[in-house]
Amino acid sequence: MADNDAIEAQGATRPAWADGPLLDALRRGDERVFASLIDQHTAAMLRLAMLYAPTRAIAEEAVQETWLGVVRGVDSFEGRSSLRTWIFRILVNQAKSSGLAERRHVPLAAETEGDADGQPVVDPVRFRGLPRGYWSSPPNHWDELPEDRLLATETFAVVERAVESLPPGQQAVFELRDLQHWTSAEVCEALDLTEGNQRVLLHRARARVRSAIEDYFDAH
């Protein structure tokens, strides 16, 4: 597999052993491959770092330190996880060890004990008067909406605002699972979460984002 093919394949879920060609290129000091890797992951890394950092500048510094850590550690990387997961794990550890978490960080798993604002994920009125597990007011069916409404710029803006308003743990899991298309196992490893915590955080994040979109469509 050519080096550029290895880079593109990083965007999809794949086993750790499939990183071989990319790792070989990085260990050879191939600057083009390293630059492509930076282009592919830095934006998502910065969004994740900003969940821990008091300022964007400090988050950017954490990302830079992470890439330096990748350069220094790639020769000793044993491939027990995917390269992508390893990079993001370095980022999380860098954020925590550098003191970025002092002002904003709450252990991500703690959010599974209850939402930050104390409010239920879904309005209880939607279940009122019916047996457990049934909706009195079910979610709207998005497949009945015109595609141009779902793809409208305004809709994406609503999603972005909803994601930005999520508690840090929910935002981190939603970012990696639904925006970056990571597997649950990768997210658990990168963020040091149990499978149960990861599942609860993702459920709550999806419910809040869906609610924001429903409110927007109902108003328009």
Residue 90: partners with Cβ closer than 8 Å, 6 or more residues away? 66, 69, 70, 73
Domain-ending residue, one of 50, 83, 102: 102
Domain count, the chain: 2
User: Model's pTM, two decimal places?
Assistant: 0.69
CB neighbourhood size of 172 (10 A): 26
Same domain, 58 and 118: no
Contact (CB, 8 A) for 77 and 26? no
Instruction: Report the C-alpha gap between 118 and 123 in whole angstroms.
Output: 12
The domain containing residue 96 runs over which residues?
Answer: 3-102
- Which of the two residues, 136 and 43, has the higher pLDDT score? 43
Going by the DSSP 8-state scheme, the letter that residue 220 receives in this structure is -
> Which is nearest to 209 in space by CA: 183, 174, 182?
174
Least confident of 58-72, 118-132, 161-175: 118-132
Instruction: Report the C-alpha gap between 97 and 180 in whole angstroms.
Output: 25
- Which of the two residues, 204 and 8, has the higher pLDDT score? 204
